[in-house]
Amino acid sequence: MNDIPEKIAAKILIVDDDKDVLLAARLFLKQHVEVVHTEEKPDNLPSLISNENYDMVLLDMNFAPDATSGKEGFHWLNKILEIDPSIVVIMITGYGDIELAVQGIKEGATNFLLKPWENKKLLATIKTSMQLRQSKVELQDLRTKQKVLMADQNQPFGTIIGSSPAMQKVLVAAQKVAVTEANVLILGENGTGKELVARAVHRDSKRKDEVFISVDLGAISETLFESELFGFKKGAFTDAREDRAGRFEAANKGTVFLDEIGNLSLALQSKLLSVLQNRTVVRLGTNKEIPIDVRLICATNMPLYQMVREGKFRQDLLYRINTVEIHVPPLRERMEDIPHLIYHFLGIYCKKYKLTQKRVSEDTFSRLKKHDWPGNIRELQHAVERAVIMSDANILQPHDFFISSPADDKSDALDPGNLNLEEAEKMLVRKVIDKHGGNISKAARELGLTRASLYRRIEKYGL
């Protein structure tokens, strides 16, 4: 029994006004190619190319009766490549004119076929042209990924620091889930290192050699959500001066990390859910579905289960994103990691500011372990950087960290017996803003929030 030859993985469109040519080509090619479509009217080309992911177009050069100049073919060739430059176009004609062949290649065609063609030659031409198509797509993907990664390439991300039982539990969970393709939801307060955990999962996964794209949903407005995540076509809106891939498309074969997913409105949650279910995105300004293959990791500091009960977060979206949950503990629950973290940051900032390596006194460690660290590791990191910059001593003391003592905080301490969570958050936000004289950037850094997230809380509490 002979093996059935494997079909070429391609979607091909044949455009010709001769029904007999279309029928013959379709009957032959459907034996060798996965998808073959035919079209008699070239006027339908823009709609077809915009809404389907064709790899190749076999395009007749003459459609008007008795036409031999090839002008119509060149017109539609330019239209096709304007819509999708990665499509391979093979020009077909019944008139063997070498000048037409040369002009077609110059204007972007990949190859040239004469009617009537030999089936073997047609198939060989398609196979060769598909190799070129693959090269074009890979180059386009590389350029897209380079553009999206430009803003991410200089971000300082390191390894997870911590030997406490709480952090060892996180590391074990991350290692177990990394080797799977499961979607991961990382929960924890701001500043606890949720993105570091996400990057650790990616680094140990089968996708480690592909890109990791991080998206701060708390910093993306409703109006920019679709264009940022799904991309857009030139002219889709006022500032759309070129075609651009979104984050999902740029992360194809890699990992997408959606931070602060709890900030999405119900309308945006619905759009995200559709993408995750269909595994496709549609750029703004088009109707074409683009397949995507990404591993999804999400994170939030918000109580998603409570939000589901209150109708603020879609239950079906929660089920989709949390195949596995990882809870990252706040710094106050892993105080034994503080010395390791401090020396890690001391090494970074002493090197950055070209200073002699500084140390920390035991009294300082003792004092720092008594602080609650509401901003978690991010607050500790900024405290170490300030101490490195401001202190002239080689051994850092408690006063170098600008951390007030419990007695200093007693007058305006939060009494959990008299406050609910929202009231406690309101008081904390107001206190930190007052501490920094209304400087939102500094207050946001200390609280471990983005500026956009802090502005939302200011508006929420009427501060």
pLDDT (tens digit per residue) in 385-402: 989 998 888 899 888 887
Nearest to 115 by CA among 34, 30, 16: 16
CATH of 165-327, picked from 3.40.50.720, 3.40.605.10, 3.40.50.300, 3.20.80.10, is 3.40.50.300
Can you give the residue ranges of every domain in the chain? 8-136, 165-327, 333-461
Q: Which residue has the tokens 């198939």?
A: 123
What is the average pLDDT across 94-108? 70
CA 58 to CA 369: how far, in whole Å?
A: 71
What tens digit of pLDDT does each residue of 428-452 get? 887 887 777 677 777 888 888 887 7
Decide if domain 333-461 falls under CATH 1.10.8.60: yes
Q: Given this model, what pLDDT does residue 285 score?
A: 87
Provide CB contacts within 8 A for 164, sequence distance 6+: 334, 336, 337
Q: Given this model, what pLDDT does residue 8 score?
A: 84
Lowest mean pLDDT among 89-98, 135-144, 179-188: 135-144
Does residue 223 surpass a pLDDT of 90? no
Residues listed for the chain? 463
CA 372 to CA 363: how far, in whole Å?
A: 17
Confidence of residue 143 (pLDDT cuts 50, 70, 90): low
Q: Given this model, what pLDDT does residue 154 score?
A: 39
CATH of 8-136, picked from 3.30.590.20, 3.20.130.10, 3.40.50.2300, 3.40.50.300, is 3.40.50.2300
On the CB side of 15, how many CA atoms lie within 13 Å of its CA?
Answer: 26
pLDDT mean across residues, the chain = 84
60 within 8 A of 90, measured Cβ to Cβ = no
**Terminal CA-to-CA distance of the chain, rounded, Å?**
79
What are the residues facing 242 on neighbouring strands?
A: none
Phi, psi of 11 (to 5 degrees): -115, 115
> Distance from CA of residue 224 to its chain's centroid?
14
What tens digit of pLDDT does each residue of 317-333 get? 999 999 999 999 999 99
Q: Given this model, what pLDDT does residue 345 score?
A: 93
In CATH terms, are 165-327 and 333-461 the same topology? no
Q: Given this model, what pLDDT does residue 105 score?
A: 77
Which amino acid belongs to residue 104?
A: G
Confidence of residue 404 (pLDDT cuts 50, 70, 90): low
Confidence of residue 406 (pLDDT cuts 50, 70, 90): very low
Phi, psi of 300 (to 5 degrees): -165, 155
Confidence of residue 10 (pLDDT cuts 50, 70, 90): confident
Which amino acid belongs to residue 193?
A: G
CA 165 to CA 163: how far, in whole Å?
A: 7
DSSP string, 284-302: BT---EEE---EEEEEESS
Helical H runs in 150-210?
A: 165-178, 194-203
CA 321 to CA 315: how far, in whole Å?
A: 10
Helical H runs in 400-461?
A: 406-409, 421-435, 440-447, 451-461
Cβ burial 156-186 (10 Å sphere, 16+ → b, else e): eeeebbbebebbeebeebbeebbeeeebbbb
Segment holding 57, helix H or strand E: strand 56-60
Does residue 187 surpass a pLDDT of 90? yes
Lowest mean pLDDT among 35-39, 381-385, 451-455: 451-455
CA 51 to CA 327: how far, in whole Å?
A: 42
Confidence of residue 149 (pLDDT cuts 50, 70, 90): low
CA 290 to CA 53: how far, in whole Å?
A: 7
What are the residues facing 215 on neighbouring strands?
A: 258
Q: Given this model, what pLDDT does residue 414 score?
A: 47
Provide CB contacts within 8 A for 101, sequence distance 6+: 91, 112
CA 115 to CA 100: how far, in whole Å?
A: 14
For residue 307 the two structure tokens come to 């939000």
What is the average pLDDT across 147-170? 68
Is 0.85 surpassed by the pTM of this model?
Answer: no
Does residue 299 surpass a pLDDT of 80? yes
